[in-house]
Amino acid sequence: MNTIISKSMVMEDEKKSRELQIQIRTVLYQKDIKLTDVANQTNTTVATVSRTIAGYLHHKKTIAWIKENIGIDIPLPPPKLQPQKIKHKPKQNPRDLDIRFKKYYTPREAAFYYGFTPGSLAQMRSSKISIPYIKLGKKVLYAKEDVENYISKHSIKIKVSKNIGNFKEKEMELSQKST
**Domain boundary at 35, 69, 103, which?**
69
Q: Is residue 88 assigned to a domain?
A: no
Q: Is residue 82 assigned to a domain?
A: no
- Residue span of the structural domain in which 143 resides: 94-153
Q: Within this chain, do residues 64 and 100 fall inside the same structural domain, yes or no?
A: no
Q: Within this chain, do residues 112 and 149 fall inside the same structural domain, yes or no?
A: yes
If one counts the domains in the chain, the total is 2
Q: Is residue 19 assigned to a domain?
A: yes
Paired with 139 in beta bridges are: 136
pLDDT for position 116: 84
Q: Within this chain, do residues 99 and 134 fall inside the same structural domain, yes or no?
A: yes
Distance CA 24, CA 12 (A): 18
Q: Is residue 140 assigned to a domain?
A: yes
For 58-84, how does the pLDDT look when each residue is reduced to its tens digit (9 = 90+)? 788 888 888 888 888 777 666 666 666
Distance CA 127, CA 133 (A): 13
Q: Is residue 9 assigned to a domain?
A: no
The percent of residues above 70 in pLDDT, for the chain, comes to 67
pLDDT for position 2: 46
H and E: helices and strands count for the chain? 9, 3
Report angle CA 165, 169, 170 to the nearest 5 degrees: 115
Distance CA 175, CA 42 (A): 76
Q: Domain holding 146: CATH number?
A: 1.10.1660
Q: Is residue 125 assigned to a domain?
A: yes
Q: Within this chain, do residues 112 and 64 fall inside the same structural domain, yes or no?
A: no
For 95-123, how does the pLDDT look when each residue is reduced to its tens digit (9 = 90+)? 556 666 678 888 888 888 888 888 988 99
pLDDT at 136 exceeding the cut of 80: yes
> What region, left, alpha or beta, does residue 140 occupy, with left being phi > 0 and alpha being psi -120 to 50 degrees?
beta
Distance CA 45, CA 50 (A): 9
Q: Within this chain, do residues 22 and 63 fall inside the same structural domain, yes or no?
A: yes
Helix (H, G, I), strand (E, B) or coil at 39: helix
Q: Domain holding 51: CATH number?
A: 1.10.260
pLDDT for position 1: 43
Distance CA 103, CA 154 (A): 21
Q: Within this chain, do residues 64 and 99 fall inside the same structural domain, yes or no?
A: no
The rounded radius of gyration (Å) of the Cα atoms in the chain is: 37
